[in-house]
A and B are shown apart, each in its own frame.
Chain A
Amino acid sequence: MAHHREGRSHGHHNNSSAHALAQGLGWFSIALGAIEVFGGRSVARWLGMEQHETLIRAYGVREIVKGVGILTSKDPTPWVWGRVAGDALDLATLGKGLSDPRAHRDNVMIAMGAVAGATALDIYCANALTGESDRSNREQRWDYSDRSGLPRSPNEMRGAARDFEMPRDMRIPDALRPWTQPQAPGTPQPSM
C-alpha cells in the first residue's frame, strides 16, 4: 500500500470481549425465540395473556432473526441495538398486561424483571461493540499537533479573512445580535 502518513503513534490493543458477549446474546436470542415460537401457548398461559399468543410467537420469530443476524454478520452491532429495541417492545407489551385483570400479575412482574436484566446486558454489549474500535484507536494515539494548515500561528491568523464580503442573505439581522452591536441612539427598542 502506497501509504502516506505523518502522525506519531503509540501502542495498540484489540478488545474482543464485547464480540464474545454478542455471540452469547445471539444464541440466547435463538433459544428464547424457539421457546416463544414453539411454546407460545404455554408462555401466554403462564402470563395469563392468552389473547397475545400470536404476538408472542411473532416476537419469537423476531428473536430468531436477530440471533441469526448477530451470529452470522461481520459486524453484530446493529443487530444488538435491534435487540435493545425489541426489549423495549417486550416491556411495553408486558406493561400493558399489568393492567389486564385476566393476567397473572406476579408472573408478568417476573417476566418484566427478566427482560429488564436482558435489556441492561444488551445496552452494555451494544455500547461496548460501538466503542470497541474507538478504544483500540484511542490507545494507539496519533498526534497531529503540527498540522495547522496556516502559515502563522492561529492567533496571528485570526481575522486574516476579514476582507471577506458577507453575502446579504447570510447576515444575521442586527436585532438578533445585541451582544456585538451596541445600540445606536434612536434605535427602536423591542416592545413586549
Chain B
Amino acid sequence: MKALRWHGKGDIRCDTVPDPQIEQPRDAIIKVTSCAICGSDLHLYDHFMPGMKKGDIMGHEFMGEVVEVGQEAKSKLKVGDRVVIPFTIICGECDQCKRGNFSVCERTNRNAELAATAFGHTTAGLFGYTHLTGGYPGGQAEYVRVPFADTTHIKVPNGLTDEQVLFLGDIFPTGWQAAVQCDIQPTDTVAIWGAGPVGQMAIRSAILLGAKQVIAIDRLPERLSMAKAGGAITINFDEESVIERLNQLTQGKGPEKCIDAVGMESHVSLRQPDTIYDRAKQAVMLESDRPHVLREMIYVCRPAGVISVPGVYGGLVDKLPFGAVMNKGLTIRTGQTHVNRWSDDLLRRIEEGQIDPSFVITHTVGLEQGPEMYEIFRDKKDGCIKVVLKTS
C-alpha cells in the first residue's frame, strides 16, 4: 500500500509499504478514504518532537471503512462499517478511561515506560505520533491497523460526507474541549491565540457555547478572514499590540478565558523580543518549546481567569511567569483531547446542521501529493489552512 513516511526533518515521502495485518484480537483494519494533515504533524515534520524513527508512517486524523475485524472487536464492529478513528487509542477499561480522561489511557501506549520517563506517567497511545506514544503507524496511508478498535472508533452515518465528519477524529473535538475547559459563561470574553484549524474550531465552539465576545489573534490575513467569518473579532499581531487591543476590548480588565491554539512553535518576530530569545535557545538545544503565547496569555488574562491549552507542547519551556499565574489566581487546563468524550454530542450537532466543520478545508489532494502539501502547509503558502488527502 501507499503511505506517507517520515524520513527525517522536512522529509516526508510517499512510499510503498506492506499492508497492515491483524495482530491482536481487538484490532481492526481500516481502508482509509480520507485523512488530513494536522498542525501537530508539523512539529514532527520540523523535528521539534523527539521520538520519531525513519520510516514511521504519519497521520492521526483519518477515516474509512472497516475491512477486517479481530475476534474480540466483532461485537462492536463489522466489515463495511464507516468509521472515524480518534487520534487517541483507548482501552475503555482503565481508571482514566472510566473517568472519561481518554487521552491519558493507561493501557494503550505500548512504550509506556518511555512516556513515563519523559512525563512521569504514561499517556495514551497515539497514531503516527512518535515512539513516546507507542510508535503506532499512522493514518496517512491506504490502510491502517487500529488497535483496541472495539473502543477506538466513532461510527458515522452514510448521509454525511467524509469532509463533514473527518475532523471528529481530532481538530473539532480539540477546539471544542479547549472551549469547554473554559466553562464559558454568557458574559465571557474568550481570546484565542492562533487561527489555524484548531483555533477556527475553538472560535465556533466558543460562539456555540455562548461567549459574549470571541477574539482571534493571528497574523495571516486568510486565517483572520476565516476567523471573522466564524464570529471573532480579529487582532493581527504584526500590526497592533495584542495586550493593548485585548485590554481595550475588555475595558482594561482582560479576557476571562484565554485559549492557546498555537503550542510549541510560536511565531518569531522582532516585535516580540522574547521569541528571539526562545528561538536562539531552541537552536542550541537549551529549550525545546517556544512559549511566547503562554507568557502573553498569563500576562493579559483577567485575574481568576482560565487558561486553556490545546496547543501541543513537547518538553521544556523557559521564563514562564508563574508568579503571575499564582498571584492572579489563574486556572490552567491542558491536555490532549479526550476525543470519545465529545464525539457523540458533536456528531449529533453536525447531523442537526448546527455546524459543518468542512468549512476549514482549503486544499484537497491525492495521498501521493502529501509530501509537497506538508511543505505548503508548514510555510503557510497558497492560502493553506487545512489539507485533506484522498486515497482514491
Question: Does chain B have a CB within 8 A of A184?
Answer: no
Chain A proximity of B328: nearest CB distance (Å): 11
A127 in contact with B207 (CB, 8 Å): no
B362 in contact with A148 (CB, 8 Å): no
B211's nearest neighbour on chain A, judged by CB, is A158
* A residues whose Cβ falls under 8 Å from a Cβ of B: 1-7, 9, 74-75, 78-79, 81-82, 84-86, 88, 123, 126-127, 130-131, 133-134, 136-138, 140-151, 153-155, 157-162, 164, 166-167, 169-172, 176-180
7 tightest Cβ-Cβ pairs between the two chains A and B: A154-B231, A142-B383, A149-B359, A159-B210, A142-B222, A161-B208, A4-B364
B221 in contact with A81 (CB, 8 Å): no
Q: Give Cα A141 to B219, complex, Å.
A: 12
Residue from A5, A133, A154, A176 in contact with B230 in the complex, judged by beta carbons closer than 8 Å: A154
A148 in contact with B284 (CB, 8 Å): no
Chain B proximity of A58: nearest CB distance (Å): 14
Given A143-B222, A148-B231, A176-B331, A162 and B209 contact (CB-CB distance below 8 Å): yes
A172 in contact with B331 (CB, 8 Å): yes
From A75, A126, A133, A172, name the one whose CB has the most chain B CB atoms within 10 angstroms: A172
Q: Give Cα A133 to B378, complex, Å.
A: 10
B229 in contact with A147 (CB, 8 Å): yes
Chain A proximity of B383: nearest CB distance (Å): 3
What chain B residues lie within 8 Å of A170 (beta carbons)? 180-181, 183, 333
B209's nearest neighbour on chain A, judged by CB, is A161
A133 in contact with B359 (CB, 8 Å): no
Residue from A158, A166, A178 in contact with B231 in the complex, judged by beta carbons closer than 8 Å: A158
Question: Does chain A have a CB within 8 A of B43?
Answer: no
Question: Does chain A have a CB within 8 A of B73?
Answer: no
B324-368 near A? 1/0 per residue, CB < 8 Å: 000001010100000001000100010001111111111111100
Question: Does chain A have a CB within 8 A of B204?
Answer: yes
Q: Give Cα A127 to B268, complex, Å.
A: 7
B230 in contact with A161 (CB, 8 Å): no
Question: Does chain A have a CB within 8 A of B118?
Answer: no
A142 in contact with B225 (CB, 8 Å): yes
Q: Give Cα A146 to B276, complex, Å.
A: 36
B208 in contact with A160 (CB, 8 Å): yes
What chain A residues lie within 8 Å of B25 (beta carbons)? none
Question: Does chain A have a CB within 8 A of B158?
Answer: no
Given A133-B379, A179-B256, A180-B187, A159 and B304 contact (CB-CB distance below 8 Å): no
Interface secondary structure of A, over-half rule: loop
B209 in contact with A178 (CB, 8 Å): no
Question: Does chain A have a CB within 8 A of B261?
Answer: no
Q: Give Cα A130 to B286, complex, Å.
A: 20
A159 in contact with B208 (CB, 8 Å): yes
Q: Number of B residues contacting the other chain (C-beta, 8 Å)? A: 73
Q: Give Cα A160 to B209, complex, Å.
A: 7
Residue from A2, A145, A161 in contact with B229 in the complex, judged by beta carbons closer than 8 Å: A145
A82 in contact with B306 (CB, 8 Å): no
Question: Does chain A have a CB within 8 A of B2?
Answer: no
Chain A proximity of B36: nearest CB distance (Å): 13
Chain B proximity of A154: nearest CB distance (Å): 3
Chain B proximity of A65: nearest CB distance (Å): 12
Q: Give Cα A166 to B333, complex, Å.
A: 15
Given A133-B379, A144-B222, A154-B207, A82 and B284 contact (CB-CB distance below 8 Å): yes
B207 in contact with A2 (CB, 8 Å): no
B181's nearest neighbour on chain A, judged by CB, is A170
What chain A residues lie within 8 Å of B341 (beta carbons)? 167
Residues 101 to 150 of chain B near chain A (Cβ within 8 Å) = none
A162's nearest neighbour on chain B, judged by CB, is B210
What chain A residues lie within 8 Å of B380 (beta carbons)? 133-134, 137
Q: Give Cα A167 to B188, complex, Å.
A: 19
B280 in contact with A81 (CB, 8 Å): yes
B268 in contact with A130 (CB, 8 Å): yes
A180 in contact with B185 (CB, 8 Å): yes
Q: Give Cα A127 to B271, complex, Å.
A: 10
Question: Does chain A have a CB within 8 A of B10?
Answer: yes
What chain A residues lie within 8 Å of B185 (beta carbons)? 177, 180
Given A85-B280, A172-B183, A160 and B354 contact (CB-CB distance below 8 Å): yes
What chain B residues lie within 8 Å of A149 (beta carbons)? 200, 204, 229-230, 355-360
Q: Give Cα A145 to B225, complex, Å.
A: 5
A150 in contact with B180 (CB, 8 Å): no
Chain A proximity of B238: nearest CB distance (Å): 8
Question: Does chain A have a CB within 8 A of B269?
Answer: yes
B282 in contact with A81 (CB, 8 Å): yes
Chain A proximity of B332: nearest CB distance (Å): 12
Residue from B226, B228, B279, B304 in contact with A177 in the complex, judged by beta carbons closer than 8 Å: B304
A81 in contact with B210 (CB, 8 Å): no
Residue from B188, B229, B231, B270 in contact with A127 in the complex, judged by beta carbons closer than 8 Å: B270
Q: Give Cα A107 to B357, complex, Å.
A: 63
Q: Give Cα A126 to B228, complex, Å.
A: 31
Instruction: Identify 6 new A-B residue pairs, CB closer than 8 A, beyond the known A7-B383, A82-B280, A172-B306.
Output: A4-B365, A81-B283, A145-B228, A150-B207, A150-B356, A164-B209
